[in-house]
């Protein structure tokens, strides 16, 4: 299908696609995989060598799809896994490679592993998949704000307002690169 050229990307025209706004294939006002698939002939005419999809995974969309709830599922607004496979195959027959933005450090609070980590508690294998920081305040219940003061200084009251409603007691959580 494609030549065995490991440096193809150095010469390629790569078109980034945010599926939700690229092309609406089913008329519901939201871009989707059907819309991208319908636009493949247009991308060929543009001379595109590869399409690069921003995250298209199942997500609560708090962070534009970068908050991934399930890496093995396509967000239902965008289509299905079967539609994604069909799109990738059709693009390949037209000479267009597909790049999918894999964002392993962007696990959503809705992801099964994160929910398990919260339920399991400190010291557990499930909790070991993530980095947790205690919250601020005497009881640790105030979310931290990326190092900015939460109770003193010019950021105090505004920071508390901006962080209200986040998971209490756990303010910073990053997915580890290699889960245990």
- Is 0.85 topped by the overall pTM? no
- What are the Cα distances from residue 74, in Å, to 56, 85, 88, 164? 6, 11, 13, 30
Burial environment of residue 111 by CB neighbours within 10 A (0 to 12, 13 to 18, 19 or more): buried
- Say which residues have a Cβ less than 8 Å from residue 133's Cβ, sequence separation at least 6: 144, 170, 171, 172, 173
Tokens 């597909």 found at = 98
Q: How far is CA 104 from CA 10, 40, 111, 124, in A?
A: 24, 28, 12, 21
Distance CA 108, CA 69 (A): 5
| Residues 49, 13 contacting (CB under 8 angstroms) | yes
Q: Residues near 103 by Cβ (< 8 Å), separated by ≥ 6? A: 55, 66, 68
| pLDDT given at position 70 | 93
pLDDT in tens, the chain (180 residues): 677 888 999 999 999 999 999 999 999 999 999 999 999 999 999 999 999 999 999 999 988 889 999 999 999 999 999 999 999 999 999 999 999 998 888 888 899 999 999 899 788 999 988 888 888 888 888 887 665 544 443 333 333 333 333 333 333 344 444 444
* pLDDT tens digits, 147-178: 554 444 333 333 333 333 333 333 334 444 44
- Extended strands (E) in 109-155: 130-134
Rounded to a whole number of angstroms, the distance between the first and last alpha carbons of the chain is 37
- Judged on CB neighbours under 10 Å (0-12, 13-18, 19+), 120 is middle
């Amino acid at each position: 299908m494609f030549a065995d050229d490991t440096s193809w990307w150095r010469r390629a025209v790569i078109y980034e696609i945010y599926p939700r706004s690229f092309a609406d294939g089913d008329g519901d006002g939201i871009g989707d995989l059907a819309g991208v698939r319908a636009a493949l002939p247009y991308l060929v005419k543009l001379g595109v060598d590869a399409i690069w999809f921003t995250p298209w995974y199942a997500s609560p969309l708090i962070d534009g799809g970068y908050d991934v709830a399930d890496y093995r599922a396509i967000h239902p607004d965008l289509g299905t896994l079967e539609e994604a496979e069909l799109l990738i195959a059709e693009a390949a027959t037209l000479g267009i490679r597909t790049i999918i933005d894999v964002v392993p450090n962007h696990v959503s609070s809705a992801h099964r592993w994160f929910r398990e980590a919260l339920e399991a508690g400190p010291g557990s294998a499930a909790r070991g998949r993530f980095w947790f920081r205690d919250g601020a305040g005497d009881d640790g219940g105030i979310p931290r704000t990326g190092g900015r003061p939460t109770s003193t200084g010019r950021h105090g009251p505004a920071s508390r307002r901006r962080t209200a409603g986040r998971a209490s007691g756990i303010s910073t959580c990053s997915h580890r690169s290699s889960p245990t």
